[in-house]
Amino acid sequence: MTHNHKQSFFNELASRWDCLPDQPETATVARFVGRCLGDSARRILDVGCGTGILLPYLGRERAPREIVELDLAECMLLENRKKPEARIAAHVCADARRPPFRKASFDRVICFNTLPHLTPIDETLRELLECLCPGGVLSIGHSMGSEQLNEFHSGLGGPVGHDRLPPARILARMLSGMAVEVLCAEDASGWYCVQVRKR
């Protein structure tokens, strides 16, 4: 399935995305964002942001932050901009495989419920790491474990039917060859989190 077909797929779903079943629980989203941020997080890239599920949590802290919402589907970004919290973010419609940012632009890159759609995954990860400044953290999360999610995508079929999330240990091993320090690799039912720090 081409990237254009996948873009069309998500554009078509955008207006009803937030009402679809299998949306992540708020506690899971809050837990993930809490793991991503820290006192040093000032410039954050939310990759595959969709309709803005992370925005309410990214903007909770008092410390001023610059947040960039990145998505390939322009209709997802239109829905994103309708959220009250959208005023705290800039919105960019672009391909995560070729992010339109200068190197070392962010100290946090966050990718939640998105990575399986960003193929080829290894090339996308290299590009996202280029966006990080040294010492910055890339966080990849999902509201399902890899086995659970891959079964779900297989059942859906269509443009996402072959999108797969590698087991956390495999993803961590892939990233370890990209000049990073692996901070965690967790993979269980209802939870997936891999974090690395750029050297």
Counting Cβ atoms within 10 Å, is residue 156 exposed (0-12), middle (13-18) or buried (19+)? exposed
**Does the model's pTM come out above 0.85?**
yes
Residue with tokens 């890159």: 109
Q: How far apart are CA 5 and CA 11, in angstroms?
A: 10
Under CATH, domain 3-198 is a member of which superfamily? Vaccinia Virus protein VP39 (3.40.50.150)
Q: In this structure, which amino acid lies at residue 55?
A: L
Residue 113 structure tokens: 């419920």
pLDDT digits (tens, 9 = 90+) for 53-110: 999 999 776 566 899 999 999 999 999 999 999 998 999 999 999 999 999 999 999 9
pLDDT of 2 over the 60 cut: no
The answer to whether 18 and 38 have CB atoms below 8 angstroms apart is no
Residue with tokens 């679809």: 20
Q: How far apart are CA 95 and CA 120, in angstroms?
A: 12
